[in-house]
Amino acid sequence: MRALAALFALLLMGAAAPANQPSFSCTRTLSPSEAAICASPELSAWDRAIALFYVVQRKHSQITVAQQKDWLSVRDLCGADHTCLRRSFADWPGFPMVAPFGASFERPARYDGAGLEIAPIGSGWYAFSVQAIHIVFDQRGKILTANEGTAAGVIFITAGRGHFSIDPGDEYSCEIDFARSRDGWQLKDNGQCGGLNVTLTGNYRPFRAGQRM
Compute the average pLDDT of residues 95-117: 91
DSSP at 149: E
Compute the average pLDDT of residues 126-149: 84
Indicate whether 8 pLDDT > 60.
no
Indicate whether 110 pLDDT > 50.
yes
Q: According to the model, what pLDDT value does residue 137 have?
A: 74
The CA radius of gyration of the chain, in Å to the nearest whole number, is 18
DSSP at 111: S
Q: What is the pTM of this model?
A: 0.86
The DSSP bridge partners found for residue 114 are 107, 132
Indicate whether 208 pLDDT > 70.
yes
Q: According to the model, what pLDDT value does residue 17 have?
A: 52
Tell me which of 147 and 46 has the higher pLDDT: 46
pLDDT band at 184 (very low <50, low <70, confident <90, very high): very high
pLDDT band at 146 (very low <50, low <70, confident <90, very high): confident
- CA angle at 209 for the pair 206 and 211, rounded to the nearest 5°: 90
Percent of the chain at pLDDT above 70? 88
Q: pLDDT tens for residues 13-68?
A: 334 555 679 999 999 999 999 999 999 999 999 999 999 999 999 999 999 999 99
Cβ–Cβ under 8 Å, residues 191 and 176: no
Q: According to the model, what pLDDT value does residue 10 have?
A: 43
Q: According to the model, what pLDDT value does residue 49 have?
A: 97
Which stretches does DSSP call E strand in the chain? 103-107, 114-122, 125-137, 143-156, 161-165, 175-180, 185-189, 202-206
Phi, psi (rounded to 5 degrees) for 33: -70, -40
Tell me which of 137 and 91 has the higher pLDDT: 91
Cβ–Cβ under 8 Å, residues 152 and 198: no
Percent of the chain at pLDDT above 90? 69
- CA angle at 141 for the pair 140 and 142, rounded to the nearest 5°: 95
Tell me which of 53 and 8 has the higher pLDDT: 53
Cβ–Cβ under 8 Å, residues 133 and 144: no
Cβ–Cβ under 8 Å, residues 56 and 121: no
Mean pLDDT (the chain) is: 88
Helix spans in 60-160 (H):
65-76, 82-90
Indicate whether 168 pLDDT > 90.
no
Compute the average pLDDT of residues 129-145: 81
